[in-house]
Amino acid sequence: MKKIFSIIVISVLLVSTGMACAAAETLQTSVTNGKASIAMPYTINGGTTGVFSRQQLPFEGFDGVQADVTLPVVSLGEKGDCPYVYFGFDWKNDVGNVEGGFQFIEDSNNPNYNKWTVFMRQGNDWRWSNNIVLEQGSTHHMKFYSVLISEKQVDMVIELDGKEVIRKSSTVTNFQSASVKAVTAIAMSKPFNGSNCISRSENSKITNLMVSTVAGGDQYADFAQFKLYKEWRSEIGANGMWFGTAECIPSYLHRASDGSISIYKETMKDNPFKVVGYYSGTLFNEPIENLQTGKMTHIIYAFLIPKEDGNLVALEKTDQLKELVAKAHKDGAKVYIALGGWSYQGKPLVTVFESVAASSEKRTLLIDNVRLLLKEYNLDGVELDWEHPSQNSIGNYEKLVVELKSALDQDGKDLTAALNGAWSTTAGPEVSKVMTDACLDSFSFINVMAYDMNNAEHSPLWFAEASINYWLNRGVPAEKIILGMPLYARPSWKQYRELVAENPAYAYKDYVATTPLESYYNGLNTLREKTIIAMSKAGGVMLFDVNEDTNDESSVVSMIYDFKWRMMDYSKEELKQYISVILNDRELVLLKEDGYGVPFIDANNRTLIPLRKPMEAIGAVVSYNANSRVVTVIKNDITVKVTIDENTIDINGKKVAMDTKAIIKDGRTYIPLRAIFDAFGYDVKWHGSSRTVLIS
């Protein structure tokens, strides 16, 4: 037990600065005496010590608490962080507060020895149970209560699974005004700033939570029958402070339907970004072996053609489909089949769908045939590509969708749909407006066809964002919106790979004056910008179609895959702040883990970038005089001098005013992007929707 005790003492020293304090309400902003509260750790009593969820009852004389506790599964991202599940009794003057429960034990020398033990704390007096080591994920009954020994002595007792394991004399003997609380927490080894906790505590669960009162004696009542205590105290601190029931902070706290709670910073790892590729088996002769299935999450095989009687047109390349499924499944990707499409043998399929969907018998036959085909080829789902239901046919479309969804659920298969884009958050084509909530609720996700608007405006950046915003406004969850992106040009219909074959530089353009028809399309940089928008606002991207991609350094699938994995440790909020830099058509990668610093927007709404890497990328020579705090950048016959914290820039001896200034942040020098690149004759553009700087 000595070994365990030494480990615990280290953790205790790191977290003994306030976990016992009452917490604050951060679920919504509140206004007291005309002053708004801010849902940040520093406005929460005890909030700077870590992340926690706490329920607390009023100061009305509680003296006992008991519950069944399932201990969380823990992954410590930083040495010294310490997860807890505990109960406590507080007094309004914060004198004598006592806590007891479960504490995680970390042994860095023995990774397999990461267990839980039982503790009690009152002030700086910490106690631990002897020789109790509990498994992660195990469930135990805990009872924590006061015992009156004499007029001058009250003991605090913890029982674990019916056996007394800790007892100590309380420094407070009057429980007439005591409050009781239940807490799930990660206490941190450093101050919590709202986003810097990287440890995880998952699937903690407190059930059968009961409390006793001084007035009620040994009788225990359901915790939920009491009113929760929470109080905003505007006189505390610079901004006021919350006390009582609290979540610090909600973005870290994830509640499951079974009542369990997990604490972690949600990143792209926790909300997988879908990369969907349409594979048109009948239109191209692209070998399956060239398909990058290991870099996509879903492949949609196109197309499965319905007949007016509810039967299906036989697939032309069954061996191809079998090969695709085998390769994709080996690489961990799902394979769906697209039912429908725009036309078959030159005839629009919309009339076929209308005929089938209008008949109960035909719908049933079509659904049965689809189910049999999915089973025969070991497919994971079907994408409904009816282009497009109208005001007159939407009722039958809904019947087909709901019935197909119900049938596929029985087989454990997914149902998705190809739906149109939109021109704004509220305005879209009729085919989008008629889509019902029942249909949208039935789809595992929707692939938004944000392309084919017209030739010159085939698939512009603004159309992508407007289409996402439209479906968000319709109530579709972000993770179910997949942004469709084209790999072909209009009106030439040239494939992306054909354009790149003509000239590798075309991979980075969006327009080429090809003959006899022009080519408006999306190059790598625009597709990257769309991917960034989808990462911050939606659930993935879809390529129509991957047959038209390249297999070299200009590959779109590879670009998305590489970017996705670079961003894997970013949260949605961090993604929204991420700034991309495109220099001479090539991405200049600036990541926090590389140590160069990352671009950011300063208080003057100007983009500042780390100095050295961008300047060296254009062939400039950089130096810094620490005494004068002057940065000197030389390229060819141009010399630029920038003084830290001054609003001017010196270009070949001539001072030019700036509307912001260079700074030193975290040991790195940051320079105003536009001012410095303007000085060297570069053109700078800013795309706010994707937070991308384009320098050429």
Q: Mind listing the pLDDT tens digit for each residue in 309-331? A: 999 999 999 999 999 999 999 99
CA-to-CA dists, residue 533 to 451, 489, 527, 579, 690, angstroms = 16, 21, 10, 11, 5
Residue 1 pLDDT > 60, yes or no?
A: no
Closest C-alpha to 87, from 67, 104, 106: 67
DSSP assignment string, 606-670: -EEEESHHHHHHTT-EEEEETTTTEEEEEETTEEEEEETT-SEEEETTEEEE-SS--EEETTEEE
Quickly state the pLDDT bin for 404 (edges 50, 70, 90): very high
* 444/404 Cα distance (integer angstroms): 12
Q: For 619-636, b where at least 16 C-beta lie within 10 A, e where not — what string?
A: ebebebeeeeebbbbebe
Residue 495 pLDDT > 90, yes or no?
A: yes
Quickly state the pLDDT bin for 25 (edges 50, 70, 90): very low
* 87/225 Cα distance (integer angstroms): 17
More confident residue, 414 or 110: 414
Q: Which pLDDT belongs to residue 24?
A: 28
Residue 88 pLDDT > 80, yes or no?
A: yes
DSSP assignment string, 259-279: S-EEE----TTTSPPEEEEEE
pTM here is 0.71
252 SS3 class: helix
Closest C-alpha to 100, from 125, 136, 137, 74: 125
Mean per-residue pLDDT, 623-648: 92
Region of poorest pLDDT, from 248-262, 489-503, 511-525, 568-582: 568-582
* 406/404 Cα distance (integer angstroms): 5
Cα Rg for the chain, rounded, in angstroms? 31
Provide the 10 A C-beta neighbour count for residue 412. Answer: 8
The helix (run of H) or strand (run of E) holding residue 544 is strand 540-544
Quickly state the pLDDT bin for 397 (edges 50, 70, 90): very high
Region of poorest pLDDT, from 349-353, 437-441, 459-463, 655-659: 655-659
Mean per-residue pLDDT, 288-303: 94
Residue 606 pLDDT > 90, yes or no?
A: no
Residue 531 pLDDT > 90, yes or no?
A: yes
pLDDT tens track for 183-206: 999 999 999 988 889 899 999 999
* 481/467 Cα distance (integer angstroms): 10
CA-to-CA dists, residue 194 to 276, 383, 491, 568, angstroms = 34, 40, 50, 19
Mean per-residue pLDDT, 374-402: 97
CATH 2.60.120 fits 2-263, yes or no: yes
pLDDT tens track for 51-62: 999 999 999 999
Sign of CA dihedral 518, 524, 526, 530: positive
pLDDT tens track for 665-681: 888 888 888 989 999 99
Quickly state the pLDDT bin for 265 (edges 50, 70, 90): confident
Quickly state the pLDDT bin for 270 (edges 50, 70, 90): low
* 693/677 Cα distance (integer angstroms): 12
* CATH number of 586-695, picked from 3.30.457.10, 3.40.50.300, 3.40.50.740, 3.30.9.10: 3.30.457.10
Q: Where are the domains of the chain?
A: 2-263, 277-483+525-578, 586-695
Q: Which residues contact 398 (CB under 8 A, 6 or more apart)?
A: 436, 438, 439
**Assigned CATH class of 277-483+525-578:** alpha beta
Tell me the average pLDDT of the chain: 89
Q: Which pLDDT belongs to residue 574?
A: 80
Q: Which pLDDT belongs to residue 436?
A: 96
Provide the 10 A C-beta neighbour count for residue 310. Answer: 21
* 352/215 Cα distance (integer angstroms): 75
323 SS3 class: helix
